[in-house]
Amino acid sequence: MTRFGWFLGSEEWQPELLVAQARRAEEAGFDTVLVSDHLQPWVDDVGAAGFGWSTLGAVATATRTVGLMSAVACPLFRQHPVMVAQAAATLDRLSGGRFALGVGTGEGINEAPLGRFPRYEERLARMTEALGLLGPLLAGATVERPDAPYYPVSALRLHSPPLTSVPVYLAAAGPRSAATAGRLADGVVTSVKDPEETGRTVVDVARAAARAAGRTPPTVVLTSFVVLAEGEDEAIRALGPWRGLRTPGRLVASSPTRLRRNADRLGRDWVLARYRRVTQPRQLLDFCELVRDRLRPDVFALQVAALDGAAAVERFGELVELLRRR
């Protein structure tokens, strides 16, 4: 059965508020919480950018049963894959085995300010190598790869290994990353706007790649972005921290100032048109059922922009209860 998640946006809320939201999500009946990892927000005038690993650690100790997931960390540039493995293992211990590691090939806003942000081909090659480190380290193995092209490692193992088997999920926006997830990772993470397109370009591809490699079907983790607002004025205020997210060139942009200027130049109507908006969570019921029936996700997480994040958790908890009964 599909498990339901709540996305904790480090780009929108300060870390102490995210911890409070995580507690509310557990109380509201969500099965898991997903925490984004950002060095910078999408715009420079509002928003936040707490350290995702610290937030996850605080959530681990503030909750009892809800699952935890990084959504997603980039183990390629500012964070070495060995350090990400160490962080994941520690979180698994602190949470009593509730952690899943979500990783991705990165975004310029987070990686470029500390160095170069190469083209996708190199990032995918780096991710392939990084996955070859993360899996064995999290399984308790000693890794020794002195001649690796990107991440050479002398004999090394984790001395505080996970208590359980930590799954590694790879984020994918298209078929190349999806196929890599199916072949090398335990699952695939993607955002869904159009269920048919997401199925065709990501979910079906990951499942086919796993099948061709003789592996078990990948865990499918889906997120969907929605704005909870009574009208356009409230919606544009709720979208303040996110208005740079879907601007052209945002993947390689390194400056939240530039993203903010781009979004504001494109205008309010342009921003509003790029997000699904509801006044009541029940309005998402048909869409959620379509996602569940077409894509059969293992986890379906809601990413909600709202003026009051804590209240939104409770309101969407009612939607989750409806979905469980249907």
Residue whose tokens read 């059969």: 296
Q: How far is the CA of 269 from the CAs of 46, 259, 273, in angstroms?
A: 19, 16, 6
Amino acid code (one letter) for 305: A
Catalytic residue among 11, 26, 38, 129: 38
Q: How far is the CA of 223 from the CAs of 171, 259, 265, 266, 310, in angstroms?
A: 11, 23, 28, 26, 19
Q: Residue 180 phi/psi, 5° resolution? A: -65, -40
Which residues are registered as beta bridge partners of 102?
Answer: 169
Q: Reduce the DSSP state of residue 307 to 3 states and report it.
A: coil
Q: How far is the CA of 252 from the CAs of 44, 118, 223, 247, 283, in angstroms?
A: 16, 9, 22, 11, 34
Return all residues near 102 (Cβ < 8 A) that are at least 6 apart. Answer: 34, 69, 70, 71, 72, 73, 169, 170, 171, 189, 221
Catalytic residue among 107, 111, 122, 314: 107
Q: Reduce the DSSP state of residue 9 to 3 states and report it.
A: coil
Residue whose tokens read 């070859």: 132
Amino acid code (one letter) for 265: R
Annotated catalytic, 38?
A: yes
Contact 188, 169 (CB under 8 A): yes
Active-site annotation, residues? 38, 107
